[in-house]
Structure 1
């Protein structure tokens, strides 16, 4: 199976790399170019252009890294124990739990598309704030939920936020650090995926074994998500401050020229 997957990935990636090329300098889609010229749309600029080494030295990198680590840990934790958790907490049948796991895959993938589209309108900082508000609410409601449909719905919401975090991460990093070395920066940020894949399942297993219940798991992750929520608010305020300073600097430059 791994040989087949490896060969398939190699062929598809080789074909993709053979025709994908960076656009010409200052290139814009025709429709966007017309909207900008008419004043209908404003061209969004990155906060700065940093190399990967420069980005890693900023507090914003580690704020985004911490947010992503917690979001990933919560999502992978939920994926890893969704079936036994649903059976244990709300008495879902084995077949029902298996169906839930299958539907989780749809919400994981759908969250990547839906939340990515939403972020183009709401902005990446706002979408991450929404992720954490949803998850705090879900993790606090799950221990009190006895209805199987509501329990499954809350789990699916958490999984959609997990998937949405991945689709928004490179765009958010591009907004913060520019696209000059976004591939390397995104790679550094994705260390949260491997770390979260270890931390999430290990934490839930340790809590389950020590308490013989999944209920404390929800409260522990609600507390972790609350920390991520606080960081997301801090990062959002910092971004607004930087944008305000840049706008003020541009206004001052124009005043001097005129």
Structure 2
């Protein structure tokens, strides 16, 4: 089961290798980097929107069919991107790579997370980290194969080839997705991938939801900003070569993935609230270090720590939601919380390109994360439910009513 979820995440995780496409597409069609960044933002935007507003649909059709929908949309989006690049149509590229593949990302992201966590009720952080780590691993793999294939077969043919490969992998993985049967010793479920649904109107009156949403939004905004400009930023600040910058991007993908597994596993030990406080405080300190234009080795350390916290937040959030709302509502609530990712996909890249001087931007991000830590501390009573003793926690979750 975990392997199926990891395969889905590995496939759609190639979206994080998007920067590798920019130079070949620029050379082929003359589209500039600013135009092309919009396709990436659209894809992440529709990932979050799909996860949020298709939650009830996913609940009704179950994990297998939801995974197959993800495979169809993601494969069609990549194939359409190949067609768009071959005829030089930027609007079609936005529609296919941005919107259509983004919908596939939404189905492919939330379905395996909500299913696999239910098979590991005692270690939800580890379970979500294991699956979501594969999302980052997919970016590392894709970043290493896209350029060589494009050099041999051409950009459009590379899109077609990847579309076929990822579609096949996602279909096979989806066929093995299943929730624990009702009455199983592993977990009790209603037979669907996301459990019972929580209406958006109920969440909009729940302080806990706003706290989770804002924590993910601010952490993601700061982290995704670095991912969006990793290569040129490193060349500008520590003056590395183009080849070294490509290696650096790959290492970022590695830390994004490893951070997801490590931090989510740590959260099983110290609690979700404490883990998120680490993200904000450590991240704020690292951004402050970056604002001082540090030596190369310290630059690398600060960036990679920030990226590990960025990835760790995604892997820890499903378990955080499970602790607060229960396993049966996790998939539904997670979908709405992931809208924060959609918003951050525009906010982060936009903020970091406001000026050519990174110093004020890094200082600003340090301030944002510190302020988020203060906000989380104020909400401590609402968000620290995972620190309650197991017996008491069960009672709280049973009696909890969203008001």
Instruction: Pick the TM interval, shorter chain.
Output: 0.7 to 0.9
The answer to whether the 8 Å contact 2:259/2:311 transfers is: yes
RMSD: 2.7
* Closer, same or farther: CA 110–236 of 1 in aligned 2, 3 Å: same
Aligned twin of 2:198:
51
Return the alpha-carbon distance in structure 1 between the equivalents of residues 179 and 246 of structure 2: 43
- Tell me the SS of whatever aligns to 1:226: helix
Higher relative contact order (CA 8 A, sep 6+): 1
Query: What is the CA-CA distance between 1:168 and the residue it aligns to?
Result: 1.0
Aligned twin of 1:195:
343
The answer to whether the 8 Å contact 1:52/1:181 transfers is: no
Aligned twin of 1:205:
353
5 Å matches for 1:1-258? 1-25=158-182, 27-28=184-185, 51-53=198-200, 54-206=202-354, 208=355, 212-240=356-384, 243=388, 247=392
TM-score (norm 2): 0.51
The answer to whether the 8 Å contact 1:74/1:200 transfers is: yes
Query: What is the CA-CA distance between 1:241 and the residue it aligns to?
Result: 7.3
TM-score (norm 1): 0.77
The answer to whether the 8 Å contact 2:288/2:366 transfers is: yes
Query: What is the CA-CA distance between 1:99 and the residue it aligns to?
Result: 2.0
* Closer, same or farther: CA 57–18 of 1 in aligned 2, 3 Å: farther
The answer to whether the 8 Å contact 1:55/1:177 transfers is: no
Aligned twin of 1:37:
none
161-170 or 182-191, which moves further after superposition?
Answer: 182-191
Query: What is the CA-CA distance between 1:120 and the residue it aligns to?
Result: 1.1
The answer to whether the 8 Å contact 1:50/1:177 transfers is: no
In the alignment, structure 1 segments of 5+ residues that lack a partner are 30-48, 252-258
In the alignment, structure 2 segments of 5+ residues that lack a partner are 1-157, 187-195, 397-403
The answer to whether the 8 Å contact 1:132/1:229 transfers is: yes
> What's the CA shift string for 1:162-200, capped at 9, x where partnerless?
111111111111111112232222121111222111110
* Closer, same or farther: CA 235–15 of 1 in aligned 2, 3 Å: farther
Return the alpha-carbon distance in structure 1 between the equivalents of residues 296 and 185 of structure 2: 49
* Closer, same or farther: CA 101–27 of 1 in aligned 2, 3 Å: same
What is the count of residue pairs matched by the alignment? 227
The answer to whether the 8 Å contact 1:126/1:236 transfers is: no
